[in-house]
Structure formats: C-alpha cells, structure tokens
Structure 1
Amino acid sequence: MKSQQKCIVIFALVCCFAVLVALIFSAVDVWGEDEDGITEENCSRNCRMIIVENIPEDVSLAHNGTTPLAAGLHHLLDLATRQVEIVSPHWALNSTEYESSIPTAKQGRFLFHRLMGLKSQKVNLKVASGLTLEDSKELKVLSRHGADIHYLNMTILTNGKLLSSFWVVDRKHVYIGSAGMDWRALSTLKELGVILYECSCLALDLHRIFSLYWQLQYKDFIPSIWSKRLYGLFNKRKTLSLILNNVTAEVYPSNSPEAFGPKDRAQDIEAIFDVIQDARWFIYISITDYVPLVSNGVSRYWSAIDGKLREALLLRGIKVKLLVSCWQQTHPLTANFLWSLQSLCMDMANCSMEAKFFSSREQPDGTIEGINHNRYMVTDNALYIGNFGWVGNEFTYNGGAGLVISQEEEAEDSNVNVNANANANANASVNVTAVQQMRAVFDRDWHSRYAKPLQLNKMPVCAQQQQHEALTHSLKSWDDYSVEKTDGPNASL
C-alpha cells in the first residue's frame, strides 16, 4: 500500500514538473535568431554615417551634404551579399500608373525590381510586416520571388499598427528613418533617415528588434518572458561607443510599444526623454504631427513629451524650436497645443519657444500637397530619429524603432558649416559630427520659404481643412484619423 502511495506521489510530481516546463516554454515563446557569430566583443565600432533625404523635385531645397534616399537604399542593396532584413509600415513601391504624371515615381518600381531580384543573387530577403499577403499585392509578389515574409497581427497584440521602418543588411549596415517602402517616399514626400555602414555592433542590436517581430508571426499573445537573444544590447545606461565619421559617439536603438520591450531595451519615449533632458542649449524638433492626446474611445491629454518640453523651457531655459508638418491630416488642435507652449515664454527673458508649420506645396486653391514626413530631434549634443509622429496613440499602441546618437556638445551659438560633400565621400577627413550635420538640415528647413511662423488667432490652412470634421466627430481615435488615404499621387501616408 505504501509503495502504491509513493508511486502516486511520484507520478503527481512528474506531472506537475511536466506542466511547469510546458508553462515555462510557452512563456519563453519568442526566441532570437542565430547571430552569425557576431558578438559585442568582435563587432565593428568604426562606422560611417550618412544622412539620406528624399526632397521632391518641385521643392527648392539643396541636399546640403545629405545623400538622396533612393541612392542610399540602392547602395545598401549593392553591398548585400547574404541577407537583407526590412521592416516597413507600407508596401506600395510599384508606381507604374503614376510615372507619366510624376517622373520620379519610377524610383519606387526600380527599388521593387531590385528587391525581387535578390534571390537570384543568392541574397535572402526577409520582411516583417503588419500586412498579410492578402493585404499587399507587392508582398505576395516578393514571396513568389523567394522573399521570406512574416506577419504580425498588431491589432490582436497591441491594438495598434507596425510603423517601424528600418533595414539591416548582412548584419553590417543599417538604415532607419521616416520612409517606408512606398513610391511616394522616393518621389513626392520629403523624407529623412540615416544609413550607417560597417557598423555591426548597432546592426546586431537592430537585428534583435527585427527578430522580435519575426518570431511574433501569427501569435495572438505577447510572451511574459523573452529569450536572452532578444534582450537589448545597448541603452542609456550602457551606450554603444563608436567612432562615427572619425568622431567619437555614444549610440543606442529604441523600440515601441512598452509591451515589445525585452530586458535592457530602451523605449522610444524614454529615448526622447533622455535627449531632451541632456540638452544644454537648444532642442530643435522636425515632426509630422504634434498632438499630445491619447484616444481609446475617450480622448485625454497625454503629457509625456509636452510636459518634458515645458520643463526644459521654464526650469532650464532651453531654446526650443518645433517644425510641424502642414498636410492633409493635420489635426486642427495642433495650433492650439503649439500656442500653449509658445505662450509660456511671454514676457520671460530666459525662455525661447518658436513654432512653424512646414508646407512644401500650397496650391492656388489653398489646398496642401505633399508632406514633410521628417521625424527627428536634434540638440546641442545629441539627435534622435524615429518612426512616429509625436502623438500619444503612436507611442502607446504602435510598433516603432528609433536611434539616439550622442556626441561632443556644441557651443551655445556655434556656427554649423557642413561641407556639402562630407557625407557622400567615404574617405572624407572632416570631423563634422552627426549632430552638426542634422542641425544644418534643420536650419535649412527652418529658414526656408516653406516654413511659416505660427500666427496668433490665425488658423493655418492645413488645420482649417479638418476643422469641420473634427468638430463633427469630436476627438476620435488618432489612428482612425491619420490613416485615411486617397489613391492619387498626392495621397497622404
């Protein structure tokens, strides 16, 4: 009888152990991929960076040391020998029907054909997307040409969308910026990003973010425990030390939303806070949308970034400039929020806040075409580039990625002279920092004829276009508000 009881107890313990193991492995559901022997110890830290831009043909702005976006992406494909990993919120490169009216639209089709041809060159193309093959004809075509495509159901996972936009090529080179795989990003929209070459330490960490997306294919839950291969390698407390264009730099990537945050991975909102907090003289922001609201049925004020900027203005005397896009989907409350910030500095000697709307093309009838799709911030000692408009719902629900680069700070009013060829020349010996390069881009846009100052009691045209709809529908979900599109050549993103 006792031996029988012992058997029952042992059997029960074995069953409990089996259930425990099953639960652990179901929790540790997302594993990182093989990293090809690249480690923190043997990865490359001597990197070259260029800023890549798409400036529409009918927008009169000089590249000012930057490289055309299309040329930068094609160069990455020229360098690829093993694998190209891409995350993009859009897949609409095939622009054939618009090429007669917009000659530059063919850039999208050229890039699409290059991607289709990677398999024949024995280069693997891997795409993580929030779009299914049924949703996207282009992903279906890429799949038929050998691309490996994984789908994330962001609606189930976070009630949001996958808005990340970055490339990892051969675990050596990376691109991150505002442009998705859309023909308009290479033709009619003003885009900005950065490419870093021979930078396998950073590529390794961005690859881990890609791997997180990759392993969530068809999952209907987010695991409570992540594999160590998905942990962040670098963050604010442990930055990646690089030699970037012959200048020392501290770098780390970030990720959103919080639910997609394995151990040691900085969140985008934390990265933005860090850059704002570390600024000593100025904070210059170029952003598509600035709407400090979060909406999930009921809208409420989202103080995260707005509050940090107010602290910088009032408590630390930091000079702030905000360049916000004026486009088809500009929320009518944008001007109100900007005025609220600007009014803080009325009659205060050590407070400086300026805001402008950037409108690339205004038609005779008052309508706005195109969009300044830039999403970055530059201070006297750092820059942040990401994938989001600065809207509460973006950071709360959507998948995105960002990059922080910190370098030696500038003097308060130092002049920024960037050699126009410095970025494009791989052997350039000039010691211009990435921060100085990005500030030069911001200054060019800020002082251009496309930047219109915020005027008291005068609603900009872009906001007037949406005034009636906003009053009718109150503050509906920003996700619903901002993804409305048209199919024409000037469709919004």
Structure 2
Amino acid sequence: MEIRQHEWLSASPHEGFEQMRLKSRPKEPSPSLTRVGANFYSSVKQQDYSASVWLRRKDKLEHSQQKCIVIFALVCCFAILVALIFSAVDIMGEDEDGLSEKNCQNKCRIALVENIPEGLNYSENAPFHLSLFQGWMNLLNMAKKSVDIVSSHWDLNHSHPSACQGQRLFEKLLQLTSQNIEIKLVSDVTADSKVLEALRLKGAEVTYMNMTAYNKGRLQSSFWIVDKQHVYIGSAGLDWQSLGQMKELGVIFYNCSCLVLDLQRIFALYSSLKFKSRVPQTWSKRLYGVYDNEKKLQLQLNDTKSQAFVSNSPKLFCPKNRSFDIDAIYSVIDDAKQYVYIAVTDYLPISSTSTKRTYWPDLDGKIREALVLRSVKVRLLISFWKETDPLTFNFISSLKAICTEIANCSLKVKFFDLERENVCATKEQKDHAFPKLNRNKYMVTDGAAYIEPSPRWMARQEIHMALWGRLVFYLLSPRR
C-alpha cells in the first residue's frame, strides 16, 4: 500500500495532468456506427431525390393532360366548323357530283312522248309526237355513265303478242349492265319482278321502297335520269302494257342538268329509305328541295322562257323547300285565268266501302269555283272502261247542271273509250284479260301544265294523298 502511494506521488505533475485530460475527452465513434449513419443519410437523400423526380413527372403529366384537352377541344371545334361549311354547301344546292345552281344547264330541249295502242288512229291534222318506246330507247342509247329509274311497275318480259317493245327495252337494259354503266332502279316492295331480279344479278343496284311501313300506301312515281343530264317524267311505268296496251303520255328533257339537280334529290330520298321502317325525324339538307312553288327553276325550253318545279307526296316525303303536290295542283287551278283542261282515267270524289263512305270535295270544289266564280272554261277527258264507277256520271251531271243557269259558265266533258276507238280490235281482243286503256293524266291551263304518273282523281286515292308516293312535274309560263 505504501509502495503504490509512493509511486503515484513520485509521478510528475505534468504526467498526471495528461492522464486527466485524456480521461475527460469524448470517446471516438466506432466504425459500425459510422456506417449506419452514412447509410441513413444516403437513404434520406435518395428519397428526397425520388420525391423531386415524382413531382416533376406529375407536373409534366398534368401539363400533357392539359395539352390533350386543348387539342381535343380544337379538334371538336374544327369538326363543327367543317360540318357548318358542308351545311352551307348543302343550302347552296350542290350535290355529290359537284352540280349546283351556278354551274347547271338550264337551256334545255323538250319533247313530248306518247304511246298510242295499235289500232287507235288519229285524224290527219292531229299533232304527232315521238313514240314512248323510241324516246326511252333514245335515252338508253345516249347513256354513257349512269341510268337512274323510278317505277312502280316492272314487267317488260311478257309473252303477250304486243309485248315485243317491252322485251327489247329489257334487253337494252341488260346490255348496259355489261358496259360499265351504273344502273340504279327504285321500285315498290310489292313489285315481285323477275325483270328486277335479272337486272340485279347483272350488277344493277335495286332499291325496294316499303311504302306500307310508312302509311300503307304505294309508290306511284315514274321518272328517269340519264347521265345527270337527261330526264323523263310521265305516266308510263316499266311494263309491257305501257308500251303496248295503254295510251301513255310523258315528257323528255335533254341537256337539262338544272332540273336533274332537283330531281336527283327525290331519287336520293327514295333510295335513303331502303330497309327503313319509318321516316327520319330530320331530313338531310342534301334532300331538301332546290326549287318549289315559291322559288321556281328558270328554264329555256326549245328557246322559250319557262319556269318549272317538282312536287312530291306524301307530305312525309316533303323535306324543306319541297312542294306538296296537292297544294301545287290547287295553285295551278286557282291561277288559271282562261281555261283548265284535265285528262284523267277516273274522276270520282267519293269512296265507298262495306263499312264507310267518304266524300272528298277538294278538287271537285276547285273546278266548280273556276266555273262559277271566275268563268274559266273547263274541259274534262275521262277514260271509260270496265272499272268506271257509275257514280262518275252523277258527279259529271252535277257539274253540268251548274252551267245551265249561269252565264259565261263553260264546261265540256268527254269519255274516252279506247276499246271502242280501236278500229282494228276484234271482239275476242276486246274481251281479253289485258284491256286497252287511256292511262295518261295531265292538266293544261293558260299559264301552266302538269303531268303525273297517278292516272286517277278518286276519293280513295286523293283523300288519302299522304298514302301515295308520287312525283308531279309543273311547267309554267313566264308570267307566273
């Protein structure tokens, strides 16, 4: 014990101070602890970097999303602008072929065509017209690009002796299908026609309109468009009887693309209803009428200034700017100042069924107004055949009775019995299942003329005008 104390006491003061200083200094961290701290710092720094990268990516993503929204909005605006531009083009009246009111041809040549049954002879002084068969063949011979035909009848290939012209017409249509000429045909869905099927198999485009799906009616229009230049409108359908047994009347326009511009829209309207069971609520502007009773087509027909427009029915088939045919007929009669000449197959403003009788006074009333109120001369040419209703004579007698006591009332009526006029027909031919008939329908006044395919003015047809799909053509003098 003494020795240890002595040793401690014998140490120098400086040495003891050093020992005390060393004991008071903090201990150095161990290497393992240093590594843990470094790793923790590195991890925090890496997480901070990842967070900054994520924030930058988020900003870029939000920025790109904003760009996409802006681009989408611009695309929508551009689409709307394009739609408005095309809408404006529609309003100007341009069709898919680039035809418009500004570049169409309105200096046209016109020719009446007529089918006169064999054995019916006119007087030597009677006017002579191009035959219906020759007029149709001329149009088909002129065809270079397209032939569009609307008809409710398609029965050209028949074994009847007078069906030879129909057979030749059918052969010509078949020939055109092999000449790279586009053929489009529109018919009633009720027309179960071998002719249409044969043409379809050869490449023709056939459209069936199901009128019964709209209003239980029938298609009665009959017109042709050839090469978007030439037009036929008339009473004759594509059946052999129109070229043999029936008296038909029509008109052909040559080089008249302004008329085609409007007529093509009716053809397009019919075609658009293929396979549809109801009429659309809104028609495309490309189906709007180009001309109507208010805005008539200005034409030069055989160097004579004229005006024209086309009406349609039923009213369901009258988009904007398309005249409804019954309104246009009323307008023609009301505007007559001197005379009204009318040719029809049947004239009967009453309809009777087993359960209901209906009276349709509209057209009959217009004729009476013209006779009584305006002293307009009226001439009626009515067909007489086996289906003529006896009540027809009662209504004609009623019309005649008006003029018995009224001054300046002029009415003449003639019944056209084509079988009696046929001087060559034998008794066996007259009793045949295919009688000859005056089937044309037209009206001529001092200011206008119109022609349509439906041959009858009967209550069961006219009172339900909305049931019949038909086109009517009106030709007016310049004063109108």
Give the TM-score band, short-chain normalised.
0.7 to 0.9
User: Counterparts of 1:137 and 1:33 in 2: how far apart (Å)?
Assistant: 36
Question: What's the offset of the Cα at 1:332?
Answer: 2.3
Write the letter of the residue equivalent to 2:118. Answer: E
Structure 2 letter corresponding to 1:200: S
> 2 CA distance for matches of 1:141 and 1:191?
26
Once residues 322 and 277 of structure 1 are traced to their aligned partners in structure 2, the CA distance between those partners, rounded to angstroms, is 17
Q: Calculate the aligned-residue CA RMSD, in Å.
A: 2.4
Tell whether 2:94 aligns with 1:36. Answer: no
What letter matches 2:471 in structure 1? A
Identify the residue that residue 140 of structure 2 maps to in structure 1: 77
Offset from partner CA, 1:70-126 (integer Å, 9 cap, x none): 00001111111111111111111012x212xx3xx2000000111112121111111
C-alpha change, 1:120 and 1:132, in structure 2 (3 Å) is farther
Indicate the larger mover: 136-145 or 388-397. 388-397
Matched, 1:310 2:373: no
Cα pair 2:288 2:322 within 8 Å, conserved: yes
Query: Structure 1: how far apart are the matches of 2:285 and 2:369?
Result: 37
Cross-structure match for 1:244: 301
CA–CA separation in structure 2 for the residues paired with 1:215 and 1:329:
36
In the alignment, structure 1 segments of 5+ residues that lack a partner are 1-30, 411-493
Give the counterpart of 1:48 among 109, 115, 121: 109
Asked if structure 2 preserves the Cα contact closer than 8 Å seen for 1:55 and 1:61, the reply is no
Report if aligned partners of 2:189, 2:211 keep a CA contact under 8 Å in 1.
no
- Superposed, 1:413-428 pairs within 5 Å as none
5+ residue gaps in structure 2?
Answer: 1-89, 421-425
TM-score by length of 1: 0.73
CA distance in 1, matches of 2:203, 2:217: 29
- State the identity as a percent: 47
1:93 matched to which residue of 2?
Answer: 156
Candidates 360, 379, 400, aligned match of 2:470: 400
CA distance in 2 between partners of 1:286 and 1:266 (Å): 22
How much has 1:298 moved relative to structure 2? 2.7
Residues 73-472 of structure 1: matches in 2 within 5 Å? 73-95=136-158, 97-99=159-161, 102=162, 105-131=163-189, 135-293=192-350, 298-362=356-420, 369-388=435-454, 389-392=456-459, 393-394=461-462, 395-407=465-477
Please tell me the residue identity of whatever aligns with 1:47. C
1:364 shift after superposition: 5.6
Is the 2:268–2:287 Cα contact (8 Å) retained in structure 1? Answer: yes
Residue 344 of structure 1 and its aligned partner are, at CA, apart by 1.2
Distance 1:295 1:231, change over 3 A: farther
Structure 1 CA distance, aligned partners of 2:289 and 2:347? 28
Shift of 1:250: 0.5
| Separation in structure 1 between the aligned mates of residue 352 and residue 292 of structure 2, nearest angstrom | 29
CA 1:237–1:294 in structure 2 vs 1: closer, same or farther (change >3 Å)? farther
Contact 1:205/1:234 (CA < 8 Å) preserved in 2?
A: yes
1:88–1:173 distance in 2 versus 1, CA, 3 Å: same
Partner Cα separation in structure 2 for residue 295 and residue 38 of structure 1: 48
3-state SS of 2:321 partner: coil
Given residue 90 of structure 1, which amino acid in structure 2 is its aligned partner?
Answer: H
Please name the residue that 2:85 is paired with: none
- Does the 8 A contact of 2:133 with 2:243 survive in 1? yes
Deviation track 1:143-189 (CA, whole Å, cap 9, x = no partner) reads 01111011111111121100111111111111011100010111111
Partner SS state of residue 117, structure 1: helix
For normalisation by structure 2, the TM-score amounts to 0.74
Query: Helix, strand or coil for the counterpart of 1:346?
Result: coil
Residue identity matched to 1:406:
L
Distance in 2 (CA, whole Å) between partners of 1:307 and 1:279 is 15
CA–CA distance in structure 2, aligned partners of residues 300 and 232 of structure 1? 33
Distance 1:364 1:345, change over 3 A: farther
Match of 1:470 in 2: none
CA 1:130–1:345: 2 relative to 1, 3 Å: same
Contact 2:94/2:100 (8 A) holds in 1: no
Contact 1:51 1:67 in 2 (8 A): yes
**CA distance in structure 1 between the partners assigned to 2:247 and 2:298 by the alignment:** 31
Indicate if the aligned counterparts of 1:117 and 1:145 stay in contact, CA closer than 8 A: no
1:61 Cα deviation (Å)?
1.9
Alpha carbons of structure 1 residues 330 and 132: separation in structure 2 relative to 1, 3 Å: closer
Check the 8 A contact 1:380/1:409 in 2, yes or no. Answer: no
Bigger drift between 253-262 and 57-66 goes to 57-66
Task: Give the secondary structure class of the aligned counterpart of 2:114.
Answer: strand
- Closer, same or farther: CA 56–147 of 1 in aligned 2, 3 Å: same
Aligned-partner Cα distance in 1 for 2:96–2:331: 29
Amino acid paired to 2:285: K
Alpha-carbon distance between aligned partners in 1 of 2:239 and 2:313, rounded to the nearest angstrom: 22
1:209 aligned counterpart, secondary structure = helix
Deviation at 1:278, TM superposition (A): 1.4
**SS of the residue 2:246 aligns to:** coil
Seen in structure 2, the aligned counterparts of structure 1 residues 50 and 82 have a Cα distance that, compared at 3 Å, is: same
Q: Is the 8 A contact 1:162 1:400 kept in 2?
A: yes
CA contact (8 A) 1:35 1:204 kept: no
